[in-house]
Amino acid sequence: MSKSRIPRYLLHKLTGKPGWSSLSISEIDVTKVSNIKALERLFKVTDRDLEATLSITYDEPIENIQINPVLGRHAGFTLTNKVQLTQTITKRYKTLKDAEKEINLINTKRELIEKAHESYFNEFEKTIKSLEDKNK
């Protein structure tokens, strides 16, 4: 079992069933969530009993190298390096209310972390200021 470098309090385990997204992870770092929304599903080809979709824009860069054939006199291949800065994670839920509960949990964790960081940096600033005052 490998240990994650991310502290446990930054992680949130998503409870929904995987949706259509290419990034299919079940545990997310809440500080990397840039946008989150719950929508009622319009097209239900599969999972017809799951009425809602949670869509998360996640700041997780991914790099792809694309190989393109070159035709003509100088035939060969070109390589294109493509970096995508954000990914979309989708999960499906039984009801819209379940998806909104997930949003509330993620937002609560984000707010708690933001408050903790703010209080930490306020204390840090006070300590630095007192050290500067002592050295005058």
Residue 3 lies in a domain: no
Residue 12 lies in a domain: yes
User: For 5-16, what is each residue's pLDDT tens digit?
Assistant: 667 777 899 998
Q: Three-state DSSP class for 105? A: helix
Query: How many domains is the chain built from?
Result: 1
Cβ-in-10-Å burial (0-12, 13-18, 19+) of 56 comes to buried
Count of beta carbons in the 10 Å neighbourhood of residue 51: 17
The residue that leads in pLDDT, 132 or 53, is: 53
- pTM (two decimals): 0.72
Pairing of the two strands 17-18 and 87-93? antiparallel
Domain limits for position 34: 8-130
Residue 136 lies in a domain: no
Q: 26 vs 54, 67, 91, 106, CA distance in Å? A: 13, 31, 9, 13
Residue 1 lies in a domain: no
